[in-house]
Amino acid sequence: MKRFLFFPIAIPVAWAQEWSNPSGENPATIQDLTVIVQKIINIAIRLAGIAAFIMLIVGGFQYLTAGGDPKKTQAAGNVITYAIFGLVVVIAAWFILLFIHKFTGIDVTKFDIPYNL
């Protein structure tokens, strides 16, 4: 059984930010949900980058400590390959959303709930 250790690095950053709409209204409104979802998406993107960086370090450490064992070297290479592949997928998804915004004018990177129908 593998154990993964998670260090919540981005959580203090999230706590330092305001989680409600800065309009000054006391009661929660549906527009506050848009702010929360935007911040969750930003945190998820940062966590994906941090996770890829950590996995690259882990894979590099495994590769250095493989000691010439072909199975360990192959496993370390797989960790590095999957970390790079995951990072490329996250970056490609973000660029596809920016590409859609550039050519259609619709900002799909911003979550917004229409409240004036």
State pLDDT tens for residues 10-34: 444 444 445 554 555 566 667 677 7
Please state, rounded to an integer, the average pLDDT across all residues of the chain. Answer: 77
- Name the band, by pLDDT with cuts 50, 70 and 90, for residue 54: very high
> pTM of the predicted model, to two decimals?
0.62
Q: What is the mean pLDDT of residues 55-77?
A: 93
3-class DSSP string for the chain: CCCCCCCCCCHHHHHHCCCCCCCCCCCCCCHHHHHHHHHHHHHHHHHHHHHHHHHHHHHHHHHHCCCCCHHHHHHHHHHHHHHHHHHHHHHHHHHHHHHHHHHHCCCCCCCCCCCCC
% pLDDT > 70, the chain: 68
